[in-house]
Structure 1
């Protein structure tokens, strides 16, 4: 793995960690407050803040996951060069698109 990929994966982890803690904290608060799924979604609809939080999380997860799976594909399947890079970019794109669709579903009016 190149230094750039190493740093991208570490930086994405640094971004994900506090967002995961925030998500868990909000979920605990919501559950203990007795909020239903409909009430939670009612509070996230149209929220630029939640779009930014979860959009950032999705972007970080997409980078982190694609780099990690790139390493697995290299070590376990022997992929190299262009095929390895193409697979990693495809994984990144898939994670990003599916994640952003989910964020849109939770935050769009």
Structure 2
């Protein structure tokens, strides 16, 4: 039953990530058309709850999706099972979530709060 739940969760996160990837690519293509540099882009994202929610949702979906995918690969290719397999999944998800959350915070709010 756990395998089915993880399978479904990974598919749901993939469906969530698809429009977020397209949106991210569209914004990046649009942003560089006018010759914007990183400082100008950060100037537009700082303090924006919309960009925080957009990229925060993206990070959560990627962390879940990536951790489940790595769990599957390790199980199929490495034969790892049980608690070790679950630990790899949870640690991977936590690392991805932590790094992604830090990046989202840095792009949207950190400089605005003097950090």
Normalised by the length of structure 2, the TM-score is 0.92
Task: Render the CA deviation track for 1:9-64: whole Å, top value 9, x for unaligned.
Answer: 00000110000000000001100011111000000001000000000000000010
SS at match of 2:26: helix
Deviation at 1:107, TM superposition (A): 0.4
Any residues of structure 2 matched to 1:54-93 within 5 Å, and which? 54-93=55-94
**Alignment RMSD:** 0.9
Task: List runs of 5+ in structure 1 lacking aligned partners.
Answer: none
SS at match of 1:34: coil
Partner of 1:107: 108
CA distance in 2, matches of 1:64, 1:82: 19
Task: List runs of 5+ in structure 2 lacking aligned partners.
Answer: none
CA distance in 2, matches of 1:11, 1:33: 35
CA distance in 2, matches of 1:14, 1:93: 21
| Runs of 4+ with deviation above 4 angstroms | none
Partner of 1:37: 38
How many residues are matched?
109
